[in-house]
A and B are shown apart, each in its own frame.
Chain A
Amino acid sequence: MPPQIYDVIVIGTGAGGGMAIRTLCDAGLKVCALNSGRRLDPQEDFRNHRATWEMKFRGFGDPATRMKDTPDFLDSEYNQGAWERDIAFTTAPGTKWMWPRASAVGGKTNFWGRSSARFGDIDFKAATQDGYDADWPLTYEEIAPYYTRVEKMIGVASTVQNRPSNPDGVYLPPFNFRCLDRILQKGCEKSGVPYLPDRLAQLTVAHDNHPACHYCGDCTFGCEVGAFFSTPWLLLPSAEATGNLDLKTNAIAKNILTGPNGKSYRSCLYRPRVTAGI
């Protein structure tokens, strides 16, 4: 088989990779995307519409295969099978560190916390403020249009809050405050701290052909209908529609080969995933 020639190879399809894939495909470049895992089936792999007693292990996951020492929302029975367990990582002796990785197209955008605040001018000039390291090479004003573009693309719900440290963007209607919020808000009012809605990449109204949230609750187990931002739901469909994307799943990037001058990247070797015990 003759080698496939692409304009760009993107390794990984998470938040960064997904955005690169969509932007490049939209611009008309031929893109090959490698992902180390499979593509999830929203109905099979996101199980948050099931009652605990309808799950074999009541939602706790199979003790035989579940990652040890991880919080419940990672690798629970509601999304077990979406997490990396074939590729090992090591930890220094005496340290307890974990590296939960989603082994799936979209990576952890499938399960992320959805908080999508902009950096403010204070962040870009942090070094000037505290004397550590260097300021960003660009200003908030320069990057603001890109924030706007992404917010319009992925859908972010919030309110206009007029706080320069956390600049306002282009927002869908905010989530309503529930009882807990009201009680916290009362406490915050006493101590003079504003209690405000976060900027959430979650759809309070239908957006870009995606239905609005139905408020079932357990977003970090994955969304069956794509009502919050994740690469597979909101970036890949349009990238695929351009016909410019060749997405290789279960393909683990192994080596990046450079050109004759040793500098420019030319190609990428990958190997297919071999799942232990199957």
Chain B
Amino acid sequence: MAGQSIERREILRMLALAAGAASFPGFCRWTFACGHLGSGIEQIRPAAYRPAFFTAAQYATIERLADIIIPTDETPGASQAGVAEFIDLMVSRDATLQANFRSGLEWLGTHSRKTFGNNFLLLAPTKQAGLMESLAYHKKYRAGEERGREFFNLVRQYTVMGFYTSEIGLKELDCPGLKFYAESPACPHKDDPEHLHLPRPKG
């Protein structure tokens, strides 16, 4: 694709050369500030993290739920991407989210004790996953678990938000990330019949 291989540094040099650009307020600082791009900020490590909103037990539950939703298998999962920290940060800033997460966690605790006689975190992983599956899949829905399903949707939403905005998650999606181009990028698949290349209208 046109210009895709051009190094960022080269693009910045080119931008700086563009007529008069450097004389505009903010431009020099902009080019300077971009020096941090690609360095990547180190993800917060779970062990060192002190939750801003959740209690230790609630936080561990959120971490476990996120890992059931996006597990670590051949690719990294929610815990490597720091999803629980992200959820804790977002929830700590919003009273409505706090109420929804708190009541959802309470529902899960009650439900877990009623079904298996123990707190969610103390259940075997298969039992934990079993509880989640009846909240996640239409075919496994059970009557009377509407609150639980709402909570599952909430946790899933925030897990996906946290995972696929992390460096790890975006790498898994093969997201090319931020790129600069020297010229307007064009479709490179000239021989693909699905990508029709018609002549431009005559001007």
Contact = CB atoms under 8 A, between A and B. Distances in A.
Contacts of A60: 90, 161, 165
Contacts, number: 146
B201 A160 contact: yes
A204 B186 CA distance: 13
Interface string B1-18: 010000000010001001
A212 B18 contact: yes
B162 A206 contact: no
Contact of B15 (A57, A189, A225, A237): A225
A52 interface: yes
Contacts of A209: 19-21, 23-24
Interface residues of A, number: 52
A224 B26 contact: yes
Nearest to A197: B200
B181 A182 contact: no
A57 B200 CA distance: 43
A101 interface: no
B178 A58 contact: no
A179 B26 contact: no
Interface in A171-215: 174-179, 181-183, 185-186, 189, 194, 196, 204, 206, 209-215
B89 A57 contact: yes
Interface in B84-103: 86, 89-90, 93-94, 97
Interface of B is mostly: loop
B137 to A, nearest CB: 27
Contacts of B147: none
Interface of A: 41-43, 49-54, 56-60, 62-64, 159-162, 168, 174-179, 181-183, 185-186, 189, 194, 196, 204, 206, 209-217, 224-226, 233, 237
29 contacts: A41-B26, A43-B26, A43-B29, A51-B167, A52-B170, A53-B40, A53-B165, A53-B167, A57-B90, A57-B93, A58-B166, A60-B90, A62-B93, A159-B201, A162-B201, A174-B184, A179-B187, A179-B189, A182-B189, A183-B196, A186-B194, A209-B20, A212-B18, A214-B180, A214-B181, A214-B182, A225-B27, A225-B30, A237-B24
Interface of B: 2, 11, 15, 18-21, 23-27, 29-30, 33-34, 36-37, 40-41, 43, 86, 89-90, 93-94, 97, 161-162, 165-167, 170, 177-187, 189, 194-198, 200-203
